Structure 1
Amino acid sequence: MKKVNRRGLTLSLVLSVTAGYVDAIGFIDTGGLFVSFMSGNSTQAGVEVLEHGITAAFMPLSLVLAFVLGVTAGALVGDDDRRRVRAVAGSAAAVAGSAALAVFLPEEPWRFWILAFAMGAVNTLYLAEGRARVAITYATGTLVSLGLALAALMTGRSRSAWQRPLILWGSLAGGAVVGAAAHRLGSAISLLIAAGVLAIAALALVLRRDGRGASAT
């Protein structure tokens, strides 16, 4: 996270809020599964296998697979600038598609797979050496960073490293609160709001890239 500048961090926070928002909607609609928090789905799958058999674990495992495929697709769609635009824009389109399915096919599992795919893709926003530099949707990694930063604070190695992971975690948790509230408007409307935010984020990335290109000439 240290290599991401302030503008990049702002975008990461927007996407993290959106991820928490979408995850809350998915959690409510699926009755307890996640579209961005795959640790929870993995645990749920293990419990389902033991209590109800392998077939009961299909849905949480399929969400994990969709998320991984989203990460894979996001990492393959171009170089850094193009990947960011395409990953965020593609996620916006996917969330909008899920909103449409919520209207016409509300029980269709595809709409949750699409959301998990989209949330996987946004984790490819900042990559370095084959790893995501910013944990957009997974709070566990962010909390590990927070704990390490607090250790650094206590030992005098860094006074401010704890701030970014705390803000990032707070954005994800806050987004979940907003998503749960927005769900009262209905799944379709609440997801369209998320799609709109992602579309604006993609547009901001395009304008930023074009601005750099113009300044370079």
Structure 2
Amino acid sequence: MTALAGFVDAVGYTAMGHLYLSFMSGNSTQFGMAVAGGNAHVVGWAGAVIATFLLGAFIGSLIHAAEGEIGMPLVLVCEFVCLISAWSLNGVIAQNCALLFVAVAMGMQNSLHKAVAGASTGKSFITGALFGTGDALARACLGRAHFAEAAANAISWLAFVAGVTNGAISVGAFGIGPALLGAAGFVVLLMILSILWRRRR
């Protein structure tokens, strides 16, 4: 999930004038700078991405909390629908408007984060993964944590960077539409894995 967040951030950065579709810290920084500089265009689009991400987080959290054991697959189905909507509307409506569906999907996805070896993974805010790596390393050296927690945080950061790299390569080689289809296909894989994991449990 973290790699997918990085992938769609590369898509958003390329297509939306350096705005992100999952990394709201960067968008919030740009939003504040645009407010200070009086740049209404950036204020409007950064605000729209932030608002749609917030909407996705709200919807995803409601679905995940209400549906118990099938919550994760159901949120992933909704995320898939959002990505396919963005792909199918790209070219029909303004590209920036179509990509807002991806921001909704990323907000939903953040409701699915999981603790792995004490590290919170699957989120799209990567600053926490970097801090968590350093913090867990320090606590492990003091005997208060396991090195596995630092490794899980570091792997989360690496997954995000790998996703960004693949997203940038995909957009450059194939364009926005195929990149969105690739992201949707990855969500299908996540759905299958989540269903198999729950059945195994």
What is the 5 A alignment of 1:129-168? 133-157=120-144, 158-168=146-156
Deviations 1:33-87 (A, max 9, x none): 0000000000000111111255641111111111111111111113342221111
Alpha-carbon distance change, 183 to 55 in structure 1, aligned in 2, over 3 angstroms: closer
Residues 76, 191 of structure 2: 8 Å contact kept: yes
Residues 1:67 and 1:96: Cα distance change in structure 2 (over 3 Å): same
Structure 2 counterpart of 1:199, from 184, 188, 196? 188
The runs of 5 or more residues in structure 1 that have no matched partner are: 1-14, 213-217
Q: 1:39 aligns with which of 25, 34, 38?
A: 25
**For the structure 1 residues 150 and 182, does the alpha-carbon distance in structure 2 shift closer, same or farther, using more than 3 Å as the test?**
same
- Residue in 2 that maps onto 1:82: 70
Q: Cα gap change, 1:159/1:16 in structure 2, threshold over 3 Å: closer, same or farther?
A: closer
1:96-125 CA-to-partner distances (Å, cap 9, x unmatched) read 1111122433x3432221111100111111
Indicate the residue corresponding to 1:26 in structure 2.
Answer: 12
Identity, % of aligned positions = 29
Unaligned 5+ runs, structure 2: none
Cα deviation digits, residues 128-160 of structure 1 (max 9, x gap)? 9xxx94352110121221121121133233333
CA 1:166–1:211: 2 relative to 1, 3 Å: closer
Q: 1:54 to 1:183 in 2, by over 3 A?
A: closer
Matched to 1:202, the amino acid is: M
TM-align CA RMSD: 2.0
| Greater displacement, 33-42 / 84-93 | 84-93
d(CA) in 2 for partners of 1:55, 1:33: 12
Counterparts of 1:168-183 in structure 2, within 5 Å, are 168-183=156-171
Whole-angstrom distance in 2 between the partners of 1:135 and 1:16: 5
Count of matched residue pairs: 194
Map 1:52-131 to 2 at 5 A: 52-54=38-40, 56-77=42-63, 78-105=66-93, 107-126=94-113
For 2:177 and 2:131, the matched residues in 1 are separated by 34
Q: Is the 8 A contact 2:75 2:108 kept in 1?
A: yes
